[in-house]
Amino acid sequence: MNTPPFFDEMLSDPGSVRDPYKVYYEWFSQDDIKRLRRKSREAEAFFRRIGITFNVYGQEEADERLIPFDIVPRIISGKEWNKLERGIEQRVRAINAFLHDIYHRQEILRAGRIPYELISGNEAFTPEMIGVDPAGGVYTHIAGVDLVRTGEDDFYVLEDNVRTPSGVSYMLENRETMLQMFPELFAQMKVRPVSSYPQLLRRSLAASVPRGSRNSSPVVAVLTPGIHNSAYFEHAFLADQMGAELVESHDLRIEDGYVAMRTTQGYQPIDVLYRRVDDDYLDPLTFNPTSLLGVPGIMDVYRAGNITIANAPGSGIADDKALYSYMPDIIEFYTGERAILKNVPTWRCSEPDSLGYVLDNLADLVVKEVHGSGGYGMLVGPAASKKELAAFEAKLRAKPANYIAQPTLALSTVPILAKSGLAPRHVDLRPFVLVSPNRIDITPGGLTRVALKKGSLVVNSSQGGGTKDTWVLGD
């Protein structure tokens, strides 16, 4: 296995193993590769049996797929994780403060740190949230911060996910699978557990009970768009793990100023609704009038303080990619500190000078839609054909404000189990963060997504990527 021209998280030189991987590498070297390949097939069969699939939109055939799982863990030292944890907490606190400010006094706009038009003309900004105070002051109850690594101590935030971040069920099932298949490894290595996430999620949501609650103990429910949603498995999984009800819009109604769900004993008021429905579909009386996925009138109940919606409507303005480049300023403005985790250099195509630079260097850049997700609507310049570059140039010229551009980062690699044995592939990491009025919990590790195609930098499952178990060592 040769060291590639990228930071290799396992090897510092050919044959020289970095400390976090030493125990694992020794174990792997002594194991039988045929046994490991058999274990890999067992993992695939397990995921298929329990139904861990996702839907791919916009394709006629094979719309439901299994996310590939690689059995070689990604291993992070306790020291590395401690720095990441501090940076993630700082960022999430700043995002929450920003959301409160932007829907109240807008001090950051008055101070000129962010252009007013970036907020006022942004489709992710929700005027209906102006002056609304969420229970406990929490907007982002659940957050996912996407990180990439380019060197020993070089971590960058690729993007923030504070609307309805997904993927935590894969993190939990990946760990459960690894525990079953390789118990001897966990006996040798001090891997910090992630299994308490559903209980922490339940506790965190329950701590954000609204001021108008009439229940003796918090009632939590998970709102799903239904079985055809790409993340339905996760909705059902988390509801089950939390001991919460999984509900759809037809299970809910407004009753005496509260949102109530249908039960065998009649309708029961809900305190906290963990919604996996986008803002636009949440309330047809306030947002999209054609929506059948939401609850008519729920925003009135929310404004009255009789239900908590997690995450708060309007949170999406904080993870809008056009706002991303201002995050270092946002962190400094609300915390008085410099950002611990770096941003990727970003060109805002809405600005003429930046647009000119991007058009001149399109073949070397990654260009993303400001409201895009899942790897859709993006251009990876170095991997694009001349035809694709020309088509994207036309899009940029037509609607420059819809895009931002970033350099093509030399993403770190970690090993996967390939036909030839261990082979390096590029990865990112999505740690999951739970925010309640009095605390922030960050799960040690998160979801590592891996580009299984050799040389590919796109890790999204919808674009052919897979996942790994992420081990944070307790050293």
Domain ranges for the chain, please list them: 11-116+141-194+339-343+424-472, 347-407
pLDDT band at 59, cuts 50/70/90? very low
What DSSP assignment string belongs to 39-74? Answer: HHHHHHHHHHHHT-EEE-TT-SS--EEEPPEEEEEE
- Of the listed ranges 199-203, 334-338, 416-420, the least confidently predicted one is 416-420
> What is the mean predicted confidence (pLDDT) over 435-441?
96
> What is the mean predicted confidence (pLDDT) over 133-156?
95
Mean per-residue pLDDT over the chain, rounded = 91
Please report the pLDDT score of residue 461 as a whole number: 66
For 349, other C-beta atoms within 10 Å of its C-beta total: 25
Predicted confidence (pLDDT) at residue 459 exceeds the cutoff of 90: no
Signed CA dihedral, 49, 51, 54, 60: sign only: positive
Of the chain, the percentage scoring pLDDT greater than 90 comes to: 79
* Residues 275, 247: Cα–Cα separation, whole Å: 9
- Of the listed ranges 102-116, 310-324, 449-463, the least confidently predicted one is 449-463
Please report the pLDDT score of residue 58 as a whole number: 45
pLDDT band at 373, cuts 50/70/90? low
Please report the pLDDT score of residue 419 as a whole number: 86
pLDDT band at 383, cuts 50/70/90? confident
Contact yes or no for 411/148 (Cβ under 8 A): yes
> What is the mean predicted confidence (pLDDT) over 86-94?
98
What are phi and psi for residue 376, nearest 5 degrees?
-80, 150
Please report the pLDDT score of residue 54 as a whole number: 52
Predicted confidence (pLDDT) at residue 178 exceeds the cutoff of 80: yes
Please report the pLDDT score of residue 185 as a whole number: 95
What DSSP assignment string belongs to 371-434? Answer: T--TTTT-EEGGG--HHHHHHHHHHHHH-GGGEEEEE-----EEEEEETTEEEEEEEEEE-EEE
> What is the mean predicted confidence (pLDDT) over 70-92?
97
pLDDT band at 67, cuts 50/70/90? confident
> What is the mean predicted confidence (pLDDT) over 433-453?
95
Contact yes or no for 198/172 (Cβ under 8 A): yes
pLDDT band at 8, cuts 50/70/90? very high
- Of the listed ranges 69-83, 334-348, 397-411, the least confidently predicted one is 397-411
The pair of structure tokens assigned to 244 is: 């919460």
Please report the pLDDT score of residue 430 as a whole number: 96
Please report the pLDDT score of residue 115 as a whole number: 92
Predicted confidence (pLDDT) at residue 2 exceeds the cutoff of 70: no
Beta-strand relationship, 220-223 and 245-247: parallel
Beta-strand relationship, 258-263 and 432-436: unpaired
Predicted confidence (pLDDT) at residue 154 exceeds the cutoff of 60: yes
Count of CA atoms in the C-beta half-sphere (13 A) of 39 = 17
What predicted TM-score, i.e. pTM, was given to this entire model? 0.92
Of the chain, the percentage scoring pLDDT greater than 70 comes to: 94
- Report the CATH architecture of 347-407: 2-Layer Sandwich (3.30)
